[in-house]
Every structure is written in structure tokens, then in C-alpha cells.
Structure 1
Amino acid sequence: MKSSYDILGNHIRLIDTRNRESITDRVLGINIDKFFMPSVANVIGTDLSKYKLITKGKFACNPMHVGRDERLPVALYDEEEPAIVSPAYFMFEVVDNSILNEDYLMMWFRRPEFDSICWLHTDGSVRGGITWDDICRLELPIPPIEKQLEIVNSYKAITERIALKQKINDNLLATSQAIFKSWFVDFQPFEGKCPYFWRNGCVEDIAEFYDSMRKPLSTLERTDMEKVYPYYGAVSIVDYVDDYLFDGEYLLVSEDGIYVVDENGHPLLQHITGKFWANNHAHILKGKAGFTEDSLYLFLANTNMAPIVTGAAQPKINQANLKSFPLVIPDSETLSKFNALIEPFFDQRLSNVAEIKELEALKELLLSQLTH
């Protein structure tokens, strides 16, 4: 049965519930992958009673960076305990759940085509915002509610499998991190002291940079491309394209965007294998001088790089600052033993990542069929 289309504004409405009774101080933001995440904004001294209170089944979106990030950060809140979001966010709900299921709507929001249309509606500001009226004018297919639920259940089965694999990978990384801490923070194999013959160096001593090979592609350039190879941005896959620039194992370090470091100042990294394209919002690195991509990942992931982040409106780690960032570099024998110890954990992680990519492709296929 072919779905009938309707404008989104007939099925959603703005809500404006404030945290006036100080119900919670848990402030959330939305990442470009369309999930809620702890906000990195400094809210010390901020009146949180003015923030919007979001509860289960409600949506929030950040309309302010669509032009820059080529995505509308929008997410469906699914937790039992309420949280708060920026007063600048749009917060909304589905008018009638018997006509439009909120999980089905969130699936529609995840389609790359939805982001492309939003991008086309952005205003002329530096960051490229989108208005509520423009969002309401967007169209979506609305099949019978039974069909919506069938699609949602299939989608959830895939996402649950992905979540399982990601949890396994989290455990593998946690084990690798524990080994790193034991060796290079607590120095347990070295009687609790940093060996005197380890040397002071910098990131450029242990990493080869391939930034010159990056090439950004606009949304319009990517629109008619066959979706074959992942197109990476600062922190994740942005799209898929019909060609590739890189083939092999690399680390991508977030260069600029909404976030370039986590709450502990550690850089945001992507560990990638295979053929891919990358834009100019991430540095492209490979290990050298005895460092594999595995050990390079752990050394960078455990380094506080907040001091070299520049820019207020748009945080940035430029190449010169990253290359010159100081590190203590172990001797080659120690590094070789460490590489051998962590390699099985990273091999299993990358194998799981490959399966996750296949599952993600199934998700994309399911999302692409929403128009039928």
C-alpha cells in the first residue's frame, strides 16, 4: 500500500514546559547522530529554571547549526526520568499517536534525504538555522498505523543487535584502556616508575598525517551519487558516496565542529578500516615509529588536549597544535610488547565494527523504503 503524504505541521506541535520547579539539573544536548548526550556547555551560574523540561516520548531539536553541519540535530527522548535542554531548542510532540507513531517519525528524521531538505531550507546566517515554520512545511509519508508499527519493530530488531555489538566493543575498549593505564599511567610493569630512558616527544613523532588528501563534498555534490563508500565528518559518517580517497586502517581526529573533545578533554576519535572518503573536519592519521593504529588510538584517547582547542563559536584543534602536542614516548621494545598485548582486542573490535556496518546498511535500506 503506497503511503499518503502530509505536511509535518499537521501532526506535531510545539511544547514549552520549563524547569521552573528545578525538577532536574541534568542538561542534555543533541549530537549530529541524533541522540541525546550530556551537554558540554558551561552552565555554572546559569538559571536552569529557564531551561526546557523534556519527558519520555517528546522530541527536541537544535535548529541553529543545520547549514554548517548539514544535519538537523533532532532526537526522541526515551528515558523515564526527565532532563532539561537549552531554551533555544524546539521541543515538540506528536499530536495523535493513533495516526503517527513517534518512533516511526524518528525513523523519518534519520533519513539522509530529510537532512538534505532541511539544509536547503536554512537561512543566511553563519551557522545556517532553520525555522519552526519551515520544519512544519516538510512532507512525510504516513501509512496506516499498523504498517508504521511493523516498520518500527523491524528497525528496532536491527538497532538492538547493533547495540549488543557496540556494548561488546565498549567492553573490549575498556579492557584495552585498563591495560594502557596499567602500563603508561601507573607504570605497573616498571615498578611504579616511568623508565628514565623513555623520551619526550610530540604527536608528529608517532603519527603520519594525511590531511592533504581530504576533500569536502557539498550536500548538492553528494545528492546524486551512488551510496557505496562512507563519507566521514568530524565525529561520524555523514553520508555515502560513489568513490573513495582512503583504503586501509586510519584514525580520524575531530578537527572542528560542535565538539572536538569530550568532557575530560580527550580528543574525539574514529578508528576506521576499509575504503572511505573524508571531509576536512577531521585529521587523518596513521601510526609510525613502531606505533600501530591501535596503540596510537590509546595514546591519543588518554591525552587531555583541551589546552589546544581554539575558537569559542566553533571549537577547533588545528594541525600545527596537534602535531606539536607533547607526549612521553616509550622505547621500541616496550611498545612492541604493548602492541602485541592489545592487538587481539582491537582486532575483535574492528570485526564487530564490520558487522555493525552491515547492520547499519540494513537500517539505511529500511529507512529508504519509508517512501514506498
Structure 2
Amino acid sequence: MQSNYKPIGDYIQLVDERNKDLKIDLLLGLTINKLFIPSVANIVGANMRNYKIIRKNQFACSIMQVRRDGKMPVALLQEFDEAIISQAYPVFEVKDENILLPEYLMMWFSRPEFDREACFYAVGGVRGSLEWEDFCNMKLPIPSIETQRAIVAEYNAVKNRIALNNQLIQKLEETAQAIYKQWFVDFEFPDENGNPYKSSGGKMVFNEELEKEIPEGWEVSKLNDICEIKGGKRLPKGGSLNENKDGNPYIKVADMVNDKHLILKETFEYVDYRTQENIKKYIVSENDLIISIVGTIGLVKIIDRTLHKANLTENCVKLTNYNQTYSDVLYHSLVSDEGQRLIKSLTVGGVQGKLPIYNIQLIPILLHDQTVSLFNDKIQKINSNLLNFQKQTNSLFRLEVLLLSKLTSLKN
């Protein structure tokens, strides 16, 4: 341990301010990913006077079940001036911001190494919790306040660019989905004169399978008629995942967040080469679509070339060996409001539901080759920009990880 490492407890203090006068009604929850989110807890009949107040630049954390979760949830409030949180969460603040910046401390908490150390100190069996005293005894480097400001500014510049990219990605996704809805749901694709088809008097015919009118000449195909649908594979007994990039990436449902294209990220875990031999039939190929079928059901992603030959969890299926011109139509059909409602209706089971392959095979897809081709041309630029922003964000994420790793080498 370097000489400039100091106990966290020397620089923070607990805060216990209650919402006694009920002036604050913004209730936040704390996620395992170290974020505050609007709470979804049922507070009917709850005594809100007992809830803790947290103010801007104060922290909240959970020291329960740290070992079980493999992370210590802790977050810095910056989005709001004040809020309330569960009384179960310790709230603390930095004693002197001229010595330690809250943002710098949050950077330290964001390191994977911090979570591993917290897990090491956690006690209490399977649901091992971290004692407050042990948390306070954990150490961090305290460089000069000028150094802290410089590295926080650099880190925030990266984070802000990631946030901007994510906003642009979302707007592009929304634009592409709006075009899909206009063409394949409202049937207002351009006719031979460039006018909206349906509202310009385009001929419609009733389709019994969909129980609605569709444009003349269009066809409804079952998903298994236009592609192969194959399940992923559970790790064999004795198989394990690693973070050392030793082997092939292993795609989990947790990796399927946000963006349309699923790109290899630093957060992926890997299957070792020996285990890979036993599950190599369950790899994905570039441009395959994957759908989550257990847990968070109905997530849909297109496999980027960076994940070509990656392994797929048993909690997903892949759509493969299809006409590549159908890629975007398939994707948008499944993520559209109608597609998601259909997926929900095809899910079976209770609390732990599942979307069976035999139900996925029956999903109807509305196709018309000429319109599909025009749709691909229409959103080609959107797709290109989407992928570029995703790759930029991925590079920025690697830079973020690098900046966090540099904290251990900071000097006074």
C-alpha cells in the first residue's frame, strides 16, 4: 500500500436527516450499477417521515449482501438538489471538499477493484454484508486537490461524451422505428408515384391470420419459414467464465442493453478454450439476430462482427441463415410495440416466464421484397451512423476504464 493511501473513514461522515415535515416527495432507489433511479417501491401506507433525506453531493450506499452480489451499490447524488431514500441506506458526505472531491471519491468507488475489495471484507455467509467500520477502513490515494480536479474533469469529459452519444443513438433508433411504423404498420410507404400508399388509395386486402387489412401483394410468413431459430447453450458442468479475455466471448442477457448492434465490450466475460470445445455448436455469426427468452424477455440485438463466433447463453435464441435484406425489417418488427406485445403474449410460465422456441417459430412477419429493399435504402445512413456512434462509445468506455485504473498510481 502506497504511503499516500488513507482510510476512507478519515474523510467522510454519516448523515442522518429524516423527512419529518414531508417536504420532499422525490423517492429514489439505488441500483447495483451505482446509480440513483426513481423508486418503484410500493409506498402505500408507508411512513414517509422515516425516510432519509439525501442532498446534492452526498452519497448513499448499501452494505448488505455485498458478497452475494459481487458489488457494493454506492452512488453520488448529482442530478437533483435533494431527494429521499430508504432508511436502510447509510447516507454520508465528504467532510472537507477542499481536501477530497466527492466526484473523485465516486470515481474510486466505480473501480472493479473496489468492489472486489469490498467483497473480500464482507462477512456473514452467502449474503455476506460489509460492516461500516470495514468500509471506513478501506483506503484510497489522496492526491492534491488540483490533481483531483484535473482527473475528474478528464473523466467527466469522457462520461459526458458517452451520454451525448447515447442520446444520439436513441434519436437515430427512434427515427428508424418511426419509418418502420409508417411503412410496415400504417402502410404509408411510397407508392409508384412517391405518395403514401394507404392514404393515396392503395389497394388493401383482408388477411385472416393478422385479422386486418394489408397491402395487396404483401405476404405473411412465419419466422421459422424465413430463418433458422436455434437456442444457446448453458455452460457445461465444471465450465467457468473469466474476465481475462481467455477464449471466446460469452453473451449473457445482461450484455444486451441499449444499442441495436451488440458489440464486444470490456464488460464481456469469456469461455476458456477447453470449455469452448464442448459448446462450439452454439456460437453466433455476424448479422445473426438474438432474442432473450428468460429473465428480461424480448430484448433483440443484431450481432456485430466483433462478436462473430461468440458463445450464446441458453437464455437466448439466435435467428440465423436468413436473407440478409430482411435483417432490419426483422429487427424492427420484433422491437416494435406490436412485436413486443406479441412476444409478451407468447411468453409462458409464472414469475420466471420463458419465451419458448416453438412460440418464436410462429411469430408472423409481414414482407414485401420491393418495399423491404426500399426500406433498407432509406435507413442505410441511419444504420451507418448508429454503428459509428456505438463504436465511438465503446472506445470511450475503454478510455473511462483506463482513467479509473490510473487512480492507483496517483501521487501527492
The answer, yes or no, to whether TM exceeds 0.5 is yes
SS of the equivalent of 1:107 reads helix
SS of the equivalent of 1:53 reads strand
Change (3 A) 1:232 1:157: farther
Quote how far apart the aligned CAs of 1:348 are. 1.4
C-alpha separation between the residues in 2 aligned to 1:132 and 1:281? 39
SS of the equivalent of 1:143 reads coil
Quote how far apart the aligned CAs of 1:255 are. 6.3
Residue 29, structure 1, aligned to residue 57, structure 2: no
Change (3 A) 1:194 1:278: farther
C-alpha separation between the residues in 2 aligned to 1:64 and 1:282? 28
Select the structure of larger CA radius of gyration: 2
Residue 355, structure 1, aligned to residue 395, structure 2: no
- Give the alignment partner of residue 286 of structure 2, picking from 241, 244, 248: 248
Quote how far apart the aligned CAs of 1:46 are. 4.2
Residue 83, structure 1, aligned to residue 116, structure 2: no
Alignment of structure 1 residues 274-313 onto 2, 5 Å = 274-276=305-307, 280=313, 283=316, 285-286=318-319, 289-290=322-323, 294-302=328-336, 303-304=340-341, 308=347
Change (3 A) 1:45 1:214: farther
* TM-score w.r.t. length of structure 1: 0.76
* TM-score w.r.t. length of structure 2: 0.70
Hey, what does 1:191 align to over in structure 2?
198
Alignment of structure 1 residues 172-191 onto 2, 5 Å = 172-189=172-189, 191=198
Deviation readout 1:36-68 (Å, 9 max, x if unpaired)? 233344445544444333221112234445445
Change (3 A) 1:72 1:295: farther
5+ unaligned residues in a row in structure 1: which ranges?
Answer: 262-266
C-alpha separation between the residues in 1 aligned to 2:23 and 2:169? 35
User: In 2, are the aligned partners of 1:234 and 1:281 still within 8 Å (CA)?
Assistant: no
Hey, what does 2:366 align to over in structure 1?
330
User: In 2, are the aligned partners of 1:233 and 1:278 still within 8 Å (CA)?
Assistant: no
Change (3 A) 1:42 1:125: farther
Hey, what does 1:264 align to over in structure 2?
none
Quote how far apart the aligned CAs of 1:99 are. 1.7
SS of the equivalent of 1:140 reads strand
Quote how far apart the aligned CAs of 1:320 are. 2.5
C-alpha separation between the residues in 2 aligned to 1:273 and 1:95? 47
C-alpha separation between the residues in 2 aligned to 1:24 and 1:81? 11
C-alpha separation between the residues in 2 aligned to 1:281 and 1:4? 47
- Give the alignment partner of residue 378 of structure 2, picking from 322, 333, 341: 341
User: In 1, are the aligned partners of 2:294 and 2:355 still within 8 Å (CA)?
Assistant: no
Residue 9 of structure 2 aligns with an amino acid whose one-letter code is G
User: In 2, are the aligned partners of 1:61 and 1:91 still within 8 Å (CA)?
Assistant: yes
5+ unaligned residues in a row in structure 2: which ranges?
Answer: 190-196, 200-211, 256-264, 273-282
Change (3 A) 1:148 1:66: same
Hey, what does 2:101 align to over in structure 1?
101
RMSD, aligned α-carbons = 4.0
C-alpha separation between the residues in 1 aligned to 2:11 and 2:48? 30
**Please, which moves more after superposition, 60-69 or 209-218?**
209-218
- Give the alignment partner of residue 273 of structure 1, picking from 299, 304, 316: 304
**Please, which moves more after superposition, 288-297 or 25-34?**
288-297
Change (3 A) 1:165 1:125: same
Alignment of structure 1 residues 80-229 onto 2, 5 Å = 80-123=80-123, 129-189=129-189, 191=198, 194-195=213-214, 199=220, 208-212=229-233, 217=240, 221-222=242-243, 225=244
Q: Percent identity?
A: 34
Change (3 A) 1:232 1:249: same
How many residue pairs end up in the alignment?
Answer: 357
Quote how far apart the aligned CAs of 1:279 are. 7.9
Residue 332 of structure 2 aligns with an amino acid whose one-letter code is L
User: In 2, are the aligned partners of 1:214 and 1:279 still within 8 Å (CA)?
Assistant: no
C-alpha separation between the residues in 1 aligned to 2:148 and 2:166? 27
Residue 211 of structure 1 aligns with an amino acid whose one-letter code is G
C-alpha separation between the residues in 2 aligned to 1:188 and 1:335? 13
C-alpha separation between the residues in 1 aligned to 2:46 and 2:322? 47
Quote how far apart the aligned CAs of 1:98 are. 1.7
Change (3 A) 1:202 1:36: farther
Quote how far apart the aligned CAs of 1:149 are. 0.9
Change (3 A) 1:39 1:200: farther
**Please, which moves more after superposition, 128-137 or 244-253?**
244-253
C-alpha separation between the residues in 1 aligned to 2:349 and 2:181? 28
User: In 1, are the aligned partners of 2:249 and 2:271 still within 8 Å (CA)?
Assistant: no
Hey, what does 2:209 align to over in structure 1?
none
